[in-house]
Structure 1
Amino acid sequence: MKILSTLTALGMIAFAQPAFAQLETYKDYDISDTVSSVTTVKVDANMGDYYLEGLKGTWVASNEVAKKLGHIEDYAIYASALPVSGEFNMILVIQYKNTADLAPSKAKYDAFMKEWGAQNVKKSREVTKTYPDIHTITGEYMMHEITMK
């Protein structure tokens, strides 16, 4: 009986050891240069359409300007089919060509502000003042796509 319990304990220890990764970056998988800024948001129940309405005039509109100027590659909004479950129910994604595009740039800022205009700045500030009443940002991430070989 003692031998059986010793063997069982040794077996459990063997399976409890962490697996050693055998994959190598760029040999077994690639990491994209493209980087995505991902924001997870918990929108209050029955407030999804109100939040989307605000996003359309602020976040979407500003991303359209940034995309037109070549500052970003693309953007997307994802909404959960189960909006009252989990830590978040919407995801906002902005895709950049590479991490260098995330660096501050006066030239990019000036070009964006010229295109965006003072009127849109004022409008955005007014709309976003209401956001804390209907949502909570639950996380922000910088993600690279992994492609297995």
Structure 2
Amino acid sequence: MLIVDYQSKSYYRFLSNMPQIAQHKTRFLITFNGGDKSQLSEFCDALTSETNSNIQTTNVIEQKSSEEVVAKLFSEARDSRHILNFESADRLFDKKTAVKASHERDNGFDLNNLFKQIAKHNGIVVLAPQQKQILSASMSTKMDVMIRFK
């Protein structure tokens, strides 16, 4: 995982490499650490101008959307080659808690399905949690780039 500080030299080098990354047919996962909405918006604008791609912003994680909605979202992004931006992605970084009763299973969002969709996606995915996160070892191995805000 490459860690770049927001608006540093490495950040601008990373942005200038984005046109080549956007052309690859593999998944590229970017996460934020500690940024606010205005900084995320600035990054999305810079990413759009560098890659000439549209950004499809979604909050399916916060809304706890169904597997069908998530699958459709990835299908549309694949077909259009849009960059997927998941706002309020804090749930992906939370420690998992055990399900104590069978009825509790239906109340949560299916994170495994989302991870599978991200893993097989051929494009750029941005995870934007609202709070600064400490990445677990398993989560940090999935990330290609972390943009760190101070």
Higher strand share: 1
**Structure with greater contact order relative to length (CA < 8 Å, sep ≥ 6):** 2
User: What is the TM-score when the length of structure 2 is the normalising length?
Assistant: 0.25
User: What is the TM-score when the length of structure 1 is the normalising length?
Assistant: 0.25
